[in-house]
């Protein structure tokens, strides 16, 4: 859903670089405006997977949310390591 909303396609190979960059920027703006913790986390996670997420102290006010983001990053890194073997 987020991919379709921000990048306008579920097939990244068909997306022009300018379109991709504009979608990421749009998502970053929405992250800055979003007040719902769950939605903020979803937007930040989406951006993180594309290497475009802001630092945790910028994205999240609470330490609890920053810790959840750290856990997400650790799980994602561990799953990437599983595929390498």
pLDDT at 1: 85
Tell me the pLDDT tens digit for each residue of 23-74.
999 999 999 999 999 999 999 999 999 999 999 999 999 999 999 999 999 9
Task: Label residue 10 by pLDDT band (50, 70, 90).
Answer: confident
Tokens standing for residue 81:
């390591």
Neighbouring residues of 32: CB distance < 8 A, sequence distance ≥ 6: none
Model confidence at 83: pLDDT above 80: no
Rounded Cα–Cα distance for residues 73 and 56 (Å) = 11
Model confidence at 85: pLDDT above 80: no
Tokens standing for residue 43:
């937007």
**Farthest CA pair distance, the chain:** 40
Tokens standing for residue 51:
């290497």
pLDDT at 32: 96
Rounded Cα–Cα distance for residues 59 and 54 (Å) = 6
């Amino acid at each position: 859903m987020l991919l379709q909303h921000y990048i306008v396609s579920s097939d990244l190979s068909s997306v022009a670089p300018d379109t991709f960059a504009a979608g990421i920027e749009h998502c970053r703006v929405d992250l800055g405006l979003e007040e719902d913790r769950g939605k903020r986390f979803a937007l930040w996670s989406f951006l993180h997977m594309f290497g475009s997420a802001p630092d945790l102290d910028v994205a999240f006010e609470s330490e609890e949310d920053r810790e959840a983001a750290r856990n997400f990053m650790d799980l994602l890194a561990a799953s990437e390591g599983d595929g390498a073997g």
